[in-house]
Amino acid sequence: MLAIILAADAASGAEQAAFPPFETWHFPSQVFWLVLLFGTLYIVLSRFILPSIGNTLERRESTIASDLDEAARLNDEAVQAQKAVEVSIAKAHAKARETADKARSKIDKDIAAETAKVDAEVDKKLAEAETRIAALRADAMKNVEAIASDAAESVVAKFGSKAGKADVSKAVKSALGEG
């Protein structure tokens, strides 16, 4: 079958010019249009299209680069802001602690002063009271002596003996002192 087809091809080939690419009549036309069209394509591409595409690619690259820079800058800024916030929080903490400490120490001082004052007053009152008690006691003792002396004098008188007033009081005094 292949032989039939090849024979047929050979037959048809023999009728026409054998090989179109080697026919020379169209060479000038081919060269003319090739030069014209290839030249046109070259000029259009090199003058207008390729610089424009190159420009776009460059613009894209620089846009991406500048966007990345901007992102990095904003990131830095955010980090700085966070640091600033942390610092101000720490400062606020320190200030709060200081204020609290100050208030506490002031209150402590106040308390101490008040306590001292009250203590002093109490001491003073106690001392006063003690002196008063002592005075009252001494007074009372004097009265007791007098009464005891009187009582002793009268007892002694009742027994029928006379005793000097001074002796009696002396004895009473010594008895009281012992008691």
Partner 1 sequence: MTLFFHGVADPMKQFEVKKLFELPPIFGFDVSFTNASLWMLVGVGLCIALFGYAASRGKIVPNRLQSIGEIGYGFVADMIRSTAGEEGLRFFPFVFTLFFFILFANLIGMSPYAFTTTSHIIVTGMLALLVISIVIVFGLWKNGLKFFGLFAPSLGDMPLLGKLVIYAILIPIEIISFIARPLTLSLRLFANMLAGHILLKLFAGFAVTGVTVGGIGLLVAPLAFGMGIALNALEFLVAGLQAYVFAILTCVYLNDALHPSH
Binding stretches for partner 1 (CB under 8 A): 1, 4-5, 8-9, 11-13, 16, 18-23, 25-35, 37-38, 40-42, 44-46, 48-50, 52-57, 59-60, 63
**Which residue number, 44 or 127, has a Cβ lying nearer to partner 1?**
44
Tell me whether residue 58 or residue 101 sits nearer to partner 1 (CB atom).
Answer: 58
Instruction: Output the smallest distance, CB 79 to partner 1, in A.
Output: 29
When the beta carbons of 58 and 123 are compared against partner 1, the nearer one is 58
| Tokens representing residue 84 in the block | 């600033």
Between 47 and 93, name the residue whose CB sits nearer to partner 1. 47
Are 166 and 139 in contact, with CB atoms under 8 Å apart? no
Residues in Cβ contact with 74 at an 8 Å cutoff, skipping those fewer than 6 apart: none
Residue closest to 149 by CA, chosen among 132, 167, 134, 131: 167
**Pick 26 or 142: Cβ nearer partner 1:** 26
User: Cβ 35 to partner 1, closest distance in Å?
Assistant: 8
Shortest CB 71 distance to partner 1, Å: 16
Q: State the Cα–Cα distance between residues 112 and 39, nearest whole angstrom.
A: 106
Shortest distance (Å) from residue 93 CB to partner 1:
48
Residue nearer to partner 1 on the CB measure, 44 or 74: 44
Least distance (Å) from partner 1 to the CB of residue 32? 4
> For 48, which DSSP code?
I
CA neighbor of 150 nearest in space, from 132, 160, 163, 131 = 163
For the chain, the farthest-separated pair of C-alpha atoms sits apart, in whole angstroms, at: 202
Q: Which amino acid is at 165?
A: K
Whether residue 156 contacts residue 163, with contact meaning beta carbons closer than 8 Å, is answered with yes
Beta carbon of residue 58, minimum distance to partner 1 (angstroms, whole number): 11
Indicate the SS3 state at residue 179. Answer: coil
